[in-house]
C-alpha cells in the first residue's frame, strides 16, 4: 500500500490541503478567515519542549470557536444515537455552509451524511492539538458511533510544524479516539492538495500515513488518499477550489461545491463499507441531490 501511495504521488503530483479558516455568516463575523500562527505551533522547538501537535490546546479566546464547541457538546448530548462523526478543520466545517454556487455544501451533507445520523465536528483553523482538546472536553461523550471520518493536520504544517510533529499529532488523535470510542471504526483521510508551500511537508505526512495505516496495521483504522480527484492531466485543477474566486484571489485550498462533492463521492465506498450501508449513488448534474429534514 505504501507503493501505491508513492505511485499516486508521482503520477498525480500530489499536493497538500491547507485548511485555513473559511467561515461565513455569524461565525465569519466573529472570526477572520486568516489566523496568525499560534506561538506553540511553530517549528524549531527545543528538544525538551513537548511536540505542540500533541498538547491539547483550546481556542476559547475566539468567540465563534467557544460558541461552536458549546453547541457541539450540547448536540452530542441530545443525539446519543449518532452513528457517524466527521472530525476535522474547515473542510469538514464547510458542510455547514449553503452559499451557492461555490460554497453550497449542505446538499452534499444531506445526501451522504445526514441520513446516517451524522455529527459535524469540523472547526475552521483547527490543528491536531485543538482536536485533542475538544475530544477531552465532551464532544464525543456518551456517543457510540459506527464510524469516525478524520481529516486533520494541514493547519499544523501551515502553522510551521514539521512533518514529524504533524504525524505525531495525527497518531495522538487516533489513539485518543480509540480510547474514547473503542468500538468505532476510523476512516483516516490523507491531506488534500493545495497550492501552498506547505504541500511539500504534506507529501511526507501522507507517505507516513499510508505506510502506517493503509496496510491494516491497526484493525480499527482504514486509510484513504483521494488527492487524485483534484488533478487533471497531472496538474492541480484550481477550478475545484473556491479560494481563487475570492476577492482578492487566494491560492487553491478549499474544495468548492464541485470539489467537495467529488471528495464525498470518493470516500463513499469506504464509508458505506465501514458502516455496513449500501453506498449512496453520486448525483448527476441534472439530478439535484435529495434533501433531508
How far apart are the C-alpha atoms of 271 and 281, rounded to whole Å? 13
Question: Which residues lie below 8 Å from residue 218, measured CB to CB, with a gap of 6+?
Answer: 174, 212
How far apart are the C-alpha atoms of 241 and 239, rounded to whole Å? 6
What's the pLDDT at 48? 61
DSSP 255: B
Q: How far is CA 23 from the centre of its chain?
A: 15
Of the CA atoms within 13 Å of residue 252, those in its CB half-sphere come to 19
CA angle 6, 219, 225 (to 5 degrees): 30
Q: How far is CA 168 from the centre of its chain?
A: 16
Helix axes 163-180, 128-136, angle to 10 degrees: 20
Q: What is the pLDDT along the chain (293 residues), one digit of tens a residue?
A: 333 343 344 343 333 333 444 433 333 333 334 344 444 444 445 456 789 999 999 999 999 999 999 999 999 999 999 999 999 999 999 999 999 999 999 999 999 999 999 999 999 999 999 999 999 999 999 999 999 999 999 999 999 999 999 999 999 999 999 999 999 999 999 999 999 889 899 989 999 999 999 999 999 999 999 999 999 999 999 999 999 999 999 999 999 999 999 999 999 999 999 999 999 998 754 344 444 43
Of the CA atoms within 13 Å of residue 8, those in its CB half-sphere come to 22
Q: How far is CA 199 from the centre of its chain?
A: 15
DSSP string, 136-187: HTTTTTT---SEEEEE--HHHHHTT--HHHHHHHHHHHHHHHHHH-TT-EEE
What's the pLDDT at 13? 35
How far apart are the C-alpha atoms of 59 and 70, rounded to whole Å? 12
Domain ranges of the chain: 2-35+60-275
Beta-sheet pairing, 103-104 with 118-122: unpaired
2-35+60-275: CATH architecture:
3-Layer(aba) Sandwich (3.40)
Amino acid at each position: 500500500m505504501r507503493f501505491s501511495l508513492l505511485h499516486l504521488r508521482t503520477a498525480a503530483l500530489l499536493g497538500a490541503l491547507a485548511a485555513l479558516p473559511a467561515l461565513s455568516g455569524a461565525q465569519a463575523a466573529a472570526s477572520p478567515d486568516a489566523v496568525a500562527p499560534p506561538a506553540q505551533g511553530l517549528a524549531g522547538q527545543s528538544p525538551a519542549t513537548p511536540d505542540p501537535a500533541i498538547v491539547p490546546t483550546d481556542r476559547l479566546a475566539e468567540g465563534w470557536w467557544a460558541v461552536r464547541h458549546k453547541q457541539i457538546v450540547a448536540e452530542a448530548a441530545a443525539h446519543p444515537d449518532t452513528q457517524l462523526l466527521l472530525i476535522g478543520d474547515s473542510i469538514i466545517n464547510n458542510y455547514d455552509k449553503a452559499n451557492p454556487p461555490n460554497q453550497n455544501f449542505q446538499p452534499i451533507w444531506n445526501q451522504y451524511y445526514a441520513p446516517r445520523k451524522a455529527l459535524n465536528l469540523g472547526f475552521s483553523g483547527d490543528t491536531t492539538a485543538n482536536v485533542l482538546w475538544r475530544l477531552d472536553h465532551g464532544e464525543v461523550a456518551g456517543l457510540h458511533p459506527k464510524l469516525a471520518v478524520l481529516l486533520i493536520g494541514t493547519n499544523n504544517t501551515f502553522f510551521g510544524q514539521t512533518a514529524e510533529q504533524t504525524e505525531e499529532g495525527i497518531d495522538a488523535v487516533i489513539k485518543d479516539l480509540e480510547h474514547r470510542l473503542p468500538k468505532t471504526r476510523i476512516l483516516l483521510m490523507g491531506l488534500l492538495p493545495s497550492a501552498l508551500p506547505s504541500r511539500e511537508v504534506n507529501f511526507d505526512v501522507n507517505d507516513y500515513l499510508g505506510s502506517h495505516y493503509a496496510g491494516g496495521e491497526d484493525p480499527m483504522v482504514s486509510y484513504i488518499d483521494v488527492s487524485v480527484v483534484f488533478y487533471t492531466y497531472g496538474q492541480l485543477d484550481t477550478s475545484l477550489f473556491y479560494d481563487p474566486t475570492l476577492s482578492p484571489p487566494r491560492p487553491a485550498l478549499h474544495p468548492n461545491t464541485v470539489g467537495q462533492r467529488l471528495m464525498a463521492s470518493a470516500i463513499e465506498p469506504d464509508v458505506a463499507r465501514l458502516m455496513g450501508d449500501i453506498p449512496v449513488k453520486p448525483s448527476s448534474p441534472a439530478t439535484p441531490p435529495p434533501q433531508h429534514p
